[in-house]
Structures are given as structure tokens and as C-alpha cells.
Amino acid sequence: MTPILPSKFDTSFPVIQVSGLTVYRGQYAAVENVSFDLLPGTSSAIVGPNGSGKSTLVQAILDLIPHTSGSVQIFGRPIQKLGKLRHEIGYMPQNFIFDRSFPISVAELVRLGWVKTDRAMSQNAALSQALQRVNATHLRHQAIGTLSGGELKRVLLAYCLVVPRKLLILDEAFAEVDVQGEADFYSLLDELRREESWTLLQVSHDLDMVGRHCDQVLCLNRSLICSGQPETALSPQNLLQTYGSTFSRYHHQH
């Protein structure tokens, strides 16, 4: 039986293909000869110590900074040629809201993520549904400056999912979700992945979360030290190689 695909994309064709990617920051190779594929509906995490090039890698994938050599394809095309497929990408960096005093309400912020596509609902319907999915309907009219850290992160997730996407890239955007929010948060991400075959790529420091929710781990320290399923990729030996000898396994403190 032929599976009914949710879209025009082949389920086995990589969403992201990175091959031999090298990025120089001035004279310094911040990312060196990195290659990997992300398959549709999978969840991958980039882990590594501070300064190992995680954010640089993400920014180079999204063409926010130029790369020196190698290539990146998203949905089988170079990012400059994505056209409207660009709207299928959600990107959330750590400092998206740099200034918490920015005069903008939750509803106004979430609406910014909306674009008119064939698959998208009307703006108002999409806004209501996105807020409902992250349990933030009651925050609709609040200013972002009045939200708690956990609330803000749920609202940012609503921003990401206000239109259906194929790929969500989180660069430590949700590093400090509050404890009770955390389980809901990751189960919502899992749900998006299973039901709408979103592909997830996140930069994370939380190896416990990575072990529970990711299919693929990319251990980065300028070059790719190891990659694979969490059980094998996060072996003590690989962690030692990625983080160096001073590393003791990071546990999330609350």
C-alpha cells in the first residue's frame, strides 16, 4: 500500500543535507568539514561545549552567515532558491526577544509568524489555534514584558506553529522552560513531529532531554565528533571526545 503523504515531499528524502560544510569566523575555522542529513519527521540535537560552533553551524545552514566551502540543501534546494518553501521553515534563536520592554502583545507577536500559504488557515483562526495548543489563550492580550520565562517560551512556540511548517530549528530558544512546562512542551514537539511530520533540529545543552526526545545526536566540537542515536552517540567515550576531559555529564538543575 502506498502511504498517503502529508505533502509533496518524499518521506525518505532528506529535509536538510549538509556536506563538507566549513565556516570561517575571521581567520578561525568555527565549523570544519561537517556533513549530515536530517530525514523528515526526525528530531535531532546538536550538542557540544560552549564555543564549539553550534550556533555558527545553525546560522550557516540558514545562510545567515556565509560559509567558506561545502554545501547546504534544504528541501533539496540551496536556501537562496527556496522561494515560498522558506515559509515551511520555523527558526527560533535564543535571543529572539532581545528587549523585553518592546511594546508588543502576545497576539501581535504570534501573528508575526503567520504567512498566507495554501495550507495556512485564516490569520485569526491560526492565532487562536496556536495559542490554544500551547495553553496560552488567556495570555492573548498581555504585553510580552509581563510574561514569566516559561510563558514567554510557550508564546514563542505558538509563533513557530501558527502556520504549518516542515522544519523547525531551535537554537537554545527554549533552554529554560519551567519544570512543569517542560514535559508538556516536549510532548507537544513530539506530537507535531508524529502527526504533522515536522522535522526538528535543536541546539541543546540538556543531554537528558536529548536522550529522551531525539532520534539523532550530532556531537560538535568545530568538526563533527560523532553522530547517531543518543544511546550510542552519547557514550562516555564520545562525550569525552566532544567536551574534553573536564566535562562531567550535565544534569538539568531546578
Residues that bind other proteins (CB under 8 A): 59, 62, 64, 86-87, 89, 91-93, 95-99, 101-105, 108, 111-113, 115, 141, 143-146
Label each residue of 172-196 as H, E or C.
CCCCCCCHHHHHHHHHHHHHHHHHH
Q: Smallest Cα–Cα separation from 160: which of 93, 251, 238, 64?
A: 93
Cβ nearer to other proteins, comparing 59 with 227: 59
What is the dihedral sign for C-alpha 80, 84, 85, 86?
positive
Cβ nearer to other proteins, comparing 165 with 222: 165
214, 44 Cβ separation under 8 angstroms: yes
Cβ nearer to other proteins, comparing 95 with 180: 95
Cβ nearer to other proteins, comparing 43 with 55: 55
Cα separation of 84 and 101, whole Å?
Answer: 32
Q: How far is the CB of 141 from other proteins (least distance, A)?
A: 8
Q: How far is the CB of 226 from other proteins (least distance, A)?
A: 28
Q: How far is the CB of 66 from other proteins (least distance, A)?
A: 13
Cβ nearer to other proteins, comparing 21 with 144: 144
CA distances from 204 to 118, 198, 240 (A): 33, 18, 17
Cα separation of 151 and 133, whole Å?
Answer: 13
Q: How far is the CB of 159 from other proteins (least distance, A)?
A: 9
Q: For the beta carbon of residue 240, count every other beta carbon within 10 angstroms.
A: 13
Angle of helix 179-196 versus helix 149-160 axis, rounded to 10: 10
- Beta partners for residue 200, in sequence order: 43, 168
Q: How far is the CB of 213 from other proteins (least distance, A)?
A: 23
Cβ nearer to other proteins, comparing 8 with 141: 141
Cβ nearer to other proteins, comparing 102 with 247: 102
Q: How far is the CB of 143 from other proteins (least distance, A)?
A: 3
Cα separation of 130 and 155, whole Å?
Answer: 9
Q: How far is the CB of 114 from other proteins (least distance, A)?
A: 8
